[in-house]
């Protein structure tokens, strides 16, 4: 029963922190626009896409077996 004296205040502290975090987020505007970010991923963005053909080729990897060791 003595563990309840520890767990109840600890649980209340966790709930109070969760409520405070929610109130802080709501005041900072985190929940103002929930629809636009989800719709943003559906729009095609061709300007930012670089095709493989237009990229420069990757430089060859360095192979330590081909160089003499001093």
Q: Would you state the pLDDT for residue 30?
A: 86
HEC profile of 6-45: HHHHHHHHHHHHHHHHHHHHHHCCCCCCCCHHHHHCCCCC
Q: Would you state the pLDDT for residue 13?
A: 98
pLDDT mean values, one per 10 residues, the chain (70 residues): 94 98 94 79 67 65 62
Q: Would you state the pLDDT for residue 65?
A: 65
Q: Would you state the pLDDT for residue 61?
A: 67
pTM of this structure:
0.49
Q: Would you state the pLDDT for residue 40?
A: 78
């Amino acid at each position: 029963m003595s563990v309840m004296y520890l767990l109840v205040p600890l649980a209340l502290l966790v709930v109070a922190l969760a409520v405070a975090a929610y109130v802080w987020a709501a005041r900072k505007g985190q929940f103002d626009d929930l629809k636009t970010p989800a719709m943003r991923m559906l729009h095609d963005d061709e300007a930012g896409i670089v095709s493989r053909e237009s990229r420069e080729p990757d430089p060859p990897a360095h192979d330590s077996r081909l160089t003499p060791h001093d």
